[in-house]
Structure 1
């Protein structure tokens, strides 16, 4: 720094700055001072050139340092490719619904019958009734399939594929560095919520068919083993990594977390599910809340699990870190706790699994310059993953108990959403970083679970009303990957680095080509799911 009266020659320098976040700049006159002479914050645009000039000012009136900043080259509008893609998507959606409307007109039906074109009839009537279509394709079950749940699962999976492929390079399609939420942070919790709802519906159907609890136990254990095995040994590395080595193999992972979560909620449902719930509809004072009272042992288990999470998170003594630390470590918190990334969650993973067997590139590494490994699918966060799935289990029970009363289902979904939203507001104090427990996807904090469960109840309720109650929408195209979710998830993970899902881009620094590549890859998997749907192929484990 060149101070007032200094004879040191001025110098120039250049630096690349992030355009993802608002940056704060501070200029100090001397190394040991604590008060900056200049301070400003700004969100800089992509591919822009900015000039910051720091000069000594010395005249008869003033003496000090002045800071000026200007734009040498205007940044590009990085959102144009996204707006174009959105416009195309809206146009295709409008055309689809317009075609569906035209197909229902009497003149259209008479014209098709008159020409006797069977193919025309099939095209116009394929989506006339979503429930008819699904029952024709999948079969005719005794109870109507909950299409909104398949659609919700397919929406979550489609967004997951898109963000895993890169999300066009936009920051809001990437995971947040630490506290807060982006679009990418929504999909995994939604998937966990849906898992819980699916367990409630599937296990209830199997019990009605006469499947014993021992058979349910064998089935869920097999499914858990398959999920864990695929997660650890199949999706743990890519062809470029060479032979799998235990010295660096990552033990936690997405499928591993789903496997443990599924096992826990499925075990609870197997042990404590009630076969005949119809007899509890009337005659008891607790009948309006029977979805809670009838399953009181499960609530006790969840309360114990959450107590364990809270005690370990806030009371466990982590060497070199304050109790209850929830920060990213590194240069966060003014660099006071550089080796405390994740607090108790990170410490437990390193103690149980070893540093070589957890994730070494957490989302906080770039922004906070962390040096410690931290796994977002770690042990402590899996407890709250079970809690998230339990809220989904609750949604499934509500759907089963009030299946003949759609309005009651919607009311209860709304009540749960409001309650969970209030809990989130209290825990976070409606702020990103200043609450008791901030929303944090890396930690799967309690507020993260309640917030995303609130969103899940609202979104599932809306889809249930539009798809299953009013039949305004058949769930296309999301229902197709939703009914083959395991195949799409494993397939996109294995083949994501191969053509046509990926290629060497000519303009990787722009958003247009990466966005086109990621949208194409995602669309191909939706098409594959549709093809398998037409062929009646559904991969189950």
Structure 2
């Protein structure tokens, strides 16, 4: 891609690194609060990470497809990329170390992070190719309002739908009916079917920021800041009647997270692309192979949990307990150090790939 915008690459890479960090603590029993998801309503810094990535997917779509025509060949490439992402996600969900290396069918989780990225990318890219920004704004508003309406007005088996955990939660009800046992947990799936609709809007909102960055307007940073503040405020106002919730990917959650994404990206854009300050190269390296780095981290982490060192302790547990756990350190700090060590490894891997000009497109 010609004329790459440095801030977008840094933002993408930093998001992937944060995704790896929050997904690989030394022990889930001892994690600092900011590195955990909110228990249900509200949000923590960790809850911003995945929507940030979907947001930057939308921003990147503008760079990749702004000058492309909506042809059969373009649709084919979009479809193939989407299917690759979904396939990788399904592989992660189905893999096990016991022959034949696939879980029992009933135990395989169908939704997932990569699956959601694939679906969101597909719809966001197709919509971008066929709609101008005004139509995309109208569609985004309609989807967020529509999701609010169906989540609060449609009863579940004759009982008024709630926004709490199952059983009277429409999103979970749909997931159970469609996927059966193939969900993250019996009472909710954070990447469920119905909540993918507002997740698409997270990417569409990233498209609007991409259009700002690629435009010939002046004061782009100011526009992103204003847009970001407006979204954060509107999202928190909406929170009063439609609580901010990552598991349900509520409309208020979409606005708040996209607002923060705009503000963070605006800061990085101002420092790097406007002022020319050089920083964050390691994030740029990770951003160049973002999906590959994320997939490898997820796959290797899974192996570390599945492979046993002495028949009982996993590789993950052995490394954590023997290298990072010490009497003079709080367990939360030990857990964080483990995550940082994992991040350091994948940053090094990203650096080597980048320097050797190895860019694996999924």
TM-score if structure 2 supplies the norm length?
A: 0.88
2:72 to 205, 209, 214: 214
Structure 2, unpaired ranges of 5+: 308-313
- State whether residues 62 and 207 of structure 2, in contact with CA within 8 Å, keep that contact through their aligned partners in structure 1: yes
- Asked which structure has the greater RCO (Cα within 8 Å, sep 6+), the reply is 2
The reply on whether 1:382 has 2:219 as its aligned counterpart is no
Change (3 A) 1:212 1:452: closer
1:317 to 134, 149, 155: 155
The structural deviation recorded for 1:384 is 0.8
The structural deviation recorded for 1:320 is 6.5
Change (3 A) 1:212 1:387: closer
- State whether residues 391 and 453 of structure 1, in contact with CA within 8 Å, keep that contact through their aligned partners in structure 2: yes
1:524 to 342, 345, 348: 345
The structural deviation recorded for 1:169 is 2.3
- Supply the distance in 1 between the matched residues of 2:97 and 2:286 (Cα, whole angstroms): 26
SS at match of 2:219: helix
The 4+ residue runs of structure 1 with deviation greater than 4 A are none
- State whether residues 417 and 453 of structure 1, in contact with CA within 8 Å, keep that contact through their aligned partners in structure 2: yes
Give the structure with higher Rg (CA): 1
Higher-helix-fraction structure: 2
Superposition pairs of residues 341-352 of structure 1, within 5 angstroms: 343-352=169-178
The structural deviation recorded for 1:259 is 1.0
- Supply the distance in 2 between the matched residues of 1:185 and 1:240 (Cα, whole angstroms): 33
Q: Which residue of 1 aligns with 2:310?
A: none
- State whether residues 148 and 475 of structure 1, in contact with CA within 8 Å, keep that contact through their aligned partners in structure 2: no
Q: Which residue of 1 aligns with 2:269?
A: 464
Higher-strand-fraction structure: 1
Q: Which residue of 2 aligns with 1:186?
A: 48
- State whether residues 502 and 517 of structure 1, in contact with CA within 8 Å, keep that contact through their aligned partners in structure 2: no
1:251 to 107, 110, 131: 110
SS at match of 1:478: helix
Superposition pairs of residues 104-253 of structure 1, within 5 angstroms: 143-166=2-25, 169-205=31-67, 207=68, 213-239=71-97, 242-253=101-112
- Supply the distance in 1 between the matched residues of 2:353 and 2:22 (Cα, whole angstroms): 23
| Structural RMSD (CA) | 2.3
SS at match of 2:316: coil
Change (3 A) 1:301 1:534: same
Q: Which residue of 2 aligns with 1:396?
A: 210
The structural deviation recorded for 1:503 is 4.6
Q: Which residue of 2 aligns with 1:422?
A: 233
TM-score if structure 1 supplies the norm length?
A: 0.60
The structural deviation recorded for 1:481 is 0.5
Q: Which residue of 2 aligns with 1:73?
A: none
SS at match of 1:244: coil
- State whether residues 501 and 520 of structure 1, in contact with CA within 8 Å, keep that contact through their aligned partners in structure 2: no
- Supply the distance in 1 between the matched residues of 2:300 and 2:160 (Cα, whole angstroms): 43
- State whether residues 387 and 449 of structure 1, in contact with CA within 8 Å, keep that contact through their aligned partners in structure 2: yes
- Supply the distance in 2 between the matched residues of 1:149 and 1:238 (Cα, whole angstroms): 35
Superposition pairs of residues 91-110 of structure 1, within 5 angstroms: none
- Supply the distance in 1 between the matched residues of 2:267 and 2:334 (Cα, whole angstroms): 34
Structure 1, unpaired ranges of 5+: 1-140, 273-293, 330-338, 361-371, 429-434
Instruction: Show CA shifts across 1:87-134 (max 9, x none).
Output: xxxxxxxxxxxxxxxxxxxxxxxxxxxxxxxxxxxxxxxxxxxxxxxx
